[in-house]
Structures are given as C-alpha cells and as structure tokens.
Chains A and B, each alone.
Chain A
Amino acid sequence: METATVPRVRDQRMTPPTRVFPYHVLERPGEKLVDRFLEAFAWVLEYTDYKPLLDSYCRSTAKCNRCAVACPVLLASGDPRDIPCYRTNLLLDTYRRYFTLDGWVSSRLSTPFELTEDLIDEMGEVFYRCTVCRRCTQSCPLGFDHGLVTRLGRYILSLIGIVPKALQVSVQEQLHGETHNTSKVPRAGLLDVLDFLSEEMEEGLGVKLEFPTDKVGRDYVFFCAVSDYLMEPDTLMGNAAVLYAAGDWDRWTIGLCNYDGINYGLFYSDWHLENIIKQLVSEVTRLEGKNILIGECGHASRAAHDFIPTFMGRDAPPVYNFMEYTLDCLRRGKIRLDPGIVTERVTYHDPCNIARSGWIVEQPREILRSFVPNFVDMVPKGAQNFCCGGGGGLVSIDEMHEYRMEIAGKIKAEQIEATGAEIVVAPCANCKKQLKELVEYHHLPCTVMGLHDLILKAIEIPGGKSPAERKEAAVSWV
C-alpha cells in the first residue's frame, strides 16, 4: 500500500516532491493547493447550506472519542488518524480558522492553526480511508454526522482535483459519455445481455419472456447498478422472475437511454449527485413512468430515494427498492417461495446505505424467513451493522484492494465467519463485489449472493418448472 509514504511530520513545513494519495488521481494537483482549497471551501459555503451545520459542530465538538469503538476501519487499523472525530476536526479546524470570527480572534492571540499542503494530503488520505458507513453517528452523544462531514471534505477536495480516478472517470462517462453509464455498457450490449438473460430464463425456468425495453407509460421504470448486467445475471433473473410470477410483467420497463442507477456523486460531490439524479428522472419522464424501481443496490437506492425529493421536489416519482416490491408481492400472496429448496445456513448483510437510517432492515429478513429455514443474523445487525469495507466508493478503487481486504473489511470477515453461514446474502452491488473479494481473500467457506439470486432458486413460476425440478437439474447449486 502506498499510504505509508505520505509525510506525517506536521511541524516541519515540507512539501513532498510528488503528492501521494492512496488512490490514483486523474490530474495531479498543481500549485497553490492551500489557496485553491480555501477558495473552493469559500464558494461551497457561499452557495450551500453547510454553514449552520459547521457552525454548530465547530462550536460543540466535545471530542469525547466515544466514536472510536464504533468505526470498523479504526478497530482494524488501530491508526488514530482513523478516529471519526479526528477526521471531522481536520475540516472543522480549517473552517473555524478561516471562516469564523472566533478563529480569526484566536489566531491573533496565539499560534494559529494553519492549513498546509501536508494537511490537505492528510485529508485526501483519511477521507478516503473512511467508508462513509456512518456507524459512528450512532455512537456520538451529540449525534455528529461524521459521514456528512467526510463527504463535504471529499467534495471540496474534488473541486481542486483531488478525487480517485476510478470514480471521476465513471462519473464523466455517466454524465458526458456516449453510453451514459458508469460501466460503458452500450445500448447494443444491454440488448444482448437481455437476450441472453431471456434465453437463460427459458432454459432454467421454462418460460419464454421478452424483457420490456423503452415501453411508455409503465408503472415501474427499473434501474439497477449497470454492472449487474455484466456481473450479476442471477440477481436480474431473480428480479425478472418476481415480476413475472407476480403477474406484473406488463407493468415495468427498462429505459434504453439511461439504465444506470449508480450515482457516485453520493460519495463525493453534490454537483454530480444532482446532475446524475436529474438524468435519471429525465429518463423516467421520457418514458412517462409512474414509479422508480431500483434493483439490488444500496447506494443507488439511497441516492434515488433520498435525493430525488431533495433536488426534484415532492412531485417527483416515488422510489422503491426492489426488496420492498418483493415483500409486498409476498405479503399479498402474489408470489410463492418454496421453503424446502434452500437448506443451507444463510446470513444477511445489511448494506449501510439502506439500513443505517432504518429504511430497509426488516423487509429482507421477512422475505428470507419465509423460505429459508436455517437463517442466522449477524451480530450486530440492522442499523448497527458493520460496513462491508467497500462503502463510500472504495470498492471501485482497485488500487485500494489490499486496504479493503486487510483493514476496512477485516471486521466484516470476522463477523461472517462467526455466523458459520454458507450463504451470505448482500442485496447491494457494492457490498457484493467487496464481500466476494473478501471471502476469497480470507478463505471463508461461503458464497456471496444477492437476495434475488436466492429467490430465483425458490420461486414458483406459474406455467414453468417447479423449484425442486430446477434444483435437480442445476449443475452447480450455490
């Protein structure tokens, strides 16, 4: 890992010859970094509503350090720079010194805090060591949202060019590329994948289905993480199977102009967050869709669910996560899941983006308990769950792989091992990728899959093969 080469000495004012961040930066930040940082910070304060938040935090930060035991990164690394409060205070100190009267007065009275290039380097490093899982917020007696501050720090850094190349390239493609999605899947490629999925479903489930694309006026416009089309066919087939079995095949569609639910803006930039949201909503408007249905992806769900009302107003189409839809079908008896099919020990990983706020915690458990006899929960679970270690966009940054395996995901690996589960259900494209790598890296005897991968095995398809038949015919089961 490259992190060790960042100079730590605060007292000596030295400028390293080349700036080293734990990730690749598209453009090397040039001269006058401090001035540019402060200028960007000033504009952010001018046009956004972060000021009251920073004022309140700055004034009342008690630095009690209770958050230290909540952070999975800190628990694994032991590096005091990973203390959530320490990280937050890097930005708060800068704010206090340069943007408040208090800071100005105290800078006249004693040796002032001074923002240096080294400190900016440190921010660039620690803000991206954090997975923005926001678990520390629950441990803070004052309720500080360290995730929000980290995100603000990343936003300001991104404005001066310090942003992981992996995220920036994806966002550029999504907003200005030809394909308008993060994985550069062209429209023809998507249609090929859908054809392939339809063939697979015919072979596996025994029903011939054609995926609805660009249909106008449907109830649901479906978006998933676009990488799912390339990497998670079973999840998509599970989604499709639920829609078909519930009799809603004529009620949904996939848009062909924009089919990517991913929104990396949620991790580092208000600007991109808003523009990607607008792009998504304009696709729904084009198709005259009534609701937005987000596939198994934690951050896509949160970005759409929380930020569409923020940016587009309350009249924007409502957002549902696919698990909410499936549970609704299950409760109303529209789909049936065979409880004799999945006999393995199954555990459930709560993706931070949908579970931390308490939005989706019980829904997937209710679905799982209805057809998995051997279900076991992790400790802790739900809103208190530990992050997989790939949150906050880290999972897309390949050069941080070792960090994600050894530090960010270490606690998660131990947690999974303790359950003794053979199947880990993680209904999030980010978590799935991270957990799959984690399981392989730590040699854990289990398989990682999405919730709908499992549902695909157990769902009863009207007019198709029975789940038991399918299980017998399957070459490899899990």
Chain B
Amino acid sequence: MNAWIDFARGPLFAITFLIMILGLGRQVVLQFYFLSVKKGRRLRGVAWKNVARETLSWAIPVRHMEPGNSVFTAASFLMHIGIILVPLFLLDHIVLWEGFLGVSLPALGRGTADVLTLLTIGCSLLLLFLRVFFTRHRMVSRPMDYVLLMAVILPFVSGYLAVHPRGSPFPWEAMMLTHLLSAELLFVLVPFTKLAHVVLFFFDRISAVHWQLRPGAGDKIAEALYGEEVKI
C-alpha cells in the first residue's frame, strides 16, 4: 500500500500536474492566438480597465448578491475560497510544493484549514442539493455537472479523513491513496472540462472584443450560402 502511496505522491503527481499545466496553457495560448489574429484596429476600442474591474469585482461578490440567488452566491463563494486556499497553503501540501517546485508558501493554521475544508464540503453538497432538487438548476445541468461536483468533493472528504484518522471509519492508507488519486484525477479533468474556467474566466468576459465583428464577413457568408445571386 505504501508503495502505491509513494507512487501517487511522486511520479503520478508530477505527470498529472504537468497535464493540468500544459492543458491549461494550451487553452490560454489558443485564446491569445485568436486575439492576436483579431488585433489591430478592432481591439483598440475595448475598455480593458472595465473588463479587469468587472472580473475583480467577482473576487468578493457581495455587490452581486441579488434576491433569489444569495444562497447560491454565498455557497459558491465559500466553496471557491476553500478550493483555492487549502490545496495551496495546507502545511502538508507546502512540503509537497517545496519538493516539486522549490517554492515555499506560507502555511494555513491547522484549525483554519479544517474549517475551510468542512465549509467547502458543506457548500459543495448544498450546490449539489440545489442542482438535484430545483427545476431551474436541473434544467441547465448535464450528467457531467453532477460528476464534476462530486469529483471536487472527493479529495476534500478523503483529505479531511486522512488528517483526522481517529474519527475516520477507514484505514489511513486507504484514505491517503484515495485523496491522492482523486486529486490527481481532478488535475487531469481541469483542462478538459468546465473546470477550465480556472483560467478561461478572463477570456469569457471580453465579449466587447467579440462584438467587434469582422467587416465583410456577412457578404462572404451570404455568397457561400446563396451563390452569386445574393438575396437579402
């Protein structure tokens, strides 16, 4: 079992992490490539400051709370806090980062990390509950939306149980291996699923760029579809 844990903590971690970085990098490069093709006069009119301000305003989305979605907003916000902070700043993870990347990050207190983990699990379950029981949410949900939410919860649950072996019904080794493997599964899923919004959130917001339509495109499309005799 320990050999498996070492494998998951060593080479497998490195490979899956690399897949995530390369996959996300590809998305970013592709988007920048498209933008560079578009650049020139048509990119100048975009209010980049507004785009940046709008994006940042969602970091703490208090002013975006509206009646009808405040529960969702709060739950989603707290879940994201945990998802961002715990994997990066938990003491045990810092050791891992140091080993692989050589960077030393400040550590979260054990108590804070526990609270954040439990909050993330709780909020994810709440989001899952909303998806299952509210028509409005179910209407836009696909199987993958449920699967991914559970894939996100799994490393948190198993990680929490691994850290608190005394209250855990499962052996430590099993929990640790589950934790490692589920986290690595997540690494692989990030660039290929909607979790890619971890980098794409910025590119989604630049619709001002996309409103700058390409001149002459309409005529070409019409000609391709209707032939020489263009009918308007």
Contact = CB atoms under 8 A, between A and B. Distances in A.
A and B: real partners?
yes
Interface string A35-52: 000011001101111111
A145 interface: yes
Residue from the set A59, A81, A85, A102 with the largest chain B CB neighbour count within 10 Å: A59
Contact of A69 (B54, B67, B205, B218): B67
A70 interface: yes
A61 interface: yes
B221 interface: yes
B28 to A, nearest CB: 10
Interface string A269-307: 111111100000000000000000000000000000011
Nearest to B134: A65
A43 B213 contact: no
A-B residue pairs, 4 tightest by C-beta: A271-B218, A143-B205, A145-B207, A52-B34
Nearest to A84: B140
A69 B200 CA distance: 24
A110 to B, nearest CB: 9
A259 B176 CA distance: 73
Interface residues of B, number: 59
Residue from the set B135, B142, B207 with the largest chain A CB neighbour count within 10 Å: B207
A3 interface: no
B201 A43 contact: no
Nearest to B72: A66
Contact of A68 (B27, B68, B232): B68
Contact of B212 (A51, A138, A310): A310
Given A59-B27, A139-B64, A143-B54, A270 B211 contact: no
26 contacts: A43-B220, A48-B214, A48-B221, A49-B34, A49-B38, A52-B30, A52-B38, A53-B210, A59-B194, A60-B194, A60-B204, A66-B72, A69-B66, A69-B67, A80-B135, A139-B69, A141-B58, A144-B204, A175-B232, A176-B232, A271-B217, A273-B213, A273-B218, A306-B211, A310-B45, A311-B215
Interface in B178-218: 192-194, 196-197, 200-201, 203-205, 207, 210-218
Given A80-B135, A271-B218, A137 B207 contact: yes
A28 interface: no
A396 B218 CA distance: 23
B148 to A, nearest CB: 9
B218 A313 contact: no
A451 B136 CA distance: 39
B222 A271 contact: yes
Contacts of B45: 309-310
A383 to B, nearest CB: 11
Contact of A314 (B41, B50, B232): B41
Given A65-B69, A274-B218, A306-B211, 15 more contacts: A43-B225, A49-B212, A51-B34, A52-B30, A52-B203, A62-B194, A64-B76, A66-B69, A68-B136, A139-B69, A141-B58, A145-B211, A309-B45, A310-B42, A311-B213
Given A49-B210, A49-B214, A139-B66, A63 B145 contact: yes
B31 interface: yes
Contacts of B84: none
Contacts of A269: 218
A57 B204 contact: yes
Contacts of A50: 210
B166 interface: no
Nearest to B77: A141
B181 to A, nearest CB: 22
B31 to A, nearest CB: 6
B141 interface: yes
A172 interface: yes
A419 interface: no
Contacts of A201: none
For chain A, the bracket of interface size reads 35 or more
Contacts of B201: 60, 141-143
Given A49-B38, A49-B213, A66-B72, A60 B197 contact: yes
Contacts of A423: none
B69 A68 contact: yes
Contact of B69 (A49, A59, A69, A270): A69
Nearest to B226: A159
Interface in A349-367: 358
A216 interface: no
B224 A43 contact: yes
A12 interface: no
B210 to A, nearest CB: 4
B1 interface: no
Contact of B196 (A46, A60, A275, A307): A60
A65 B145 CA distance: 12
A448 interface: no
B109 to A, nearest CB: 29
Given A64-B76, A70-B66, A270-B217, A143 B141 contact: no
Contact of B204 (A143, A310, A314): A143
B136 A47 contact: no
Contacts of A46: 221, 224
Contacts of A81: 139
Nearest to B198: A60
Nearest to A146: B207
Contacts of B215: 274, 310-311
B200 A270 contact: no
Nearest to B218: A271
B113 to A, nearest CB: 25
B11 to A, nearest CB: 26
